Amino acid sequence: MLRSRDKAIIVGSIVFLILSLLDGALTLWGLRVGVTEEVNPLMLWLIGNSPIVFIVVKASIPFILGFVLWRIRNKNRVF
């Protein structure tokens, strides 16, 4: 059975993934129609080389963060 912390990690990662993909899609759309510009030099370079790689990188960040949070979820925290 999943604990509330486990559920929060899963839901948070899914929401972060959806928002990242939406951000990527809207960024590509905005650049295509000329209503926006990318100010992050790394992302601008990725878009210039391959929009597919840009989206893959945008999607991988929530997966990596979710994986790290999942791995450390049972560690004792000292604050």
Cα–Cα distance, 21 to 23 (Å, whole number)? 5
59-75: per-residue pLDDT in tens?
999 999 999 999 988 88
- The structure's pTM equals 0.83
pLDDT at residue 2 above 80? no
Domain ranges across the chain:
11-71
Cα–Cα distance, 13 to 9 (Å, whole number)? 6
DSSP string, 24-73: HHHHHHHHHHTS-----HHHHHHHHH-HHHHHHHHHHHHHHHHHHHHHTT
Q: In terms of residues, how long is the chain? A: 79
- Confidence band, pLDDT 50/70/90 cuts, at residue 3: confident
The mean pLDDT of 10-24, rounded to a whole number, is 96
The mean pLDDT of 30-44, rounded to a whole number, is 94
Average pLDDT over the chain, rounded to an integer: 91
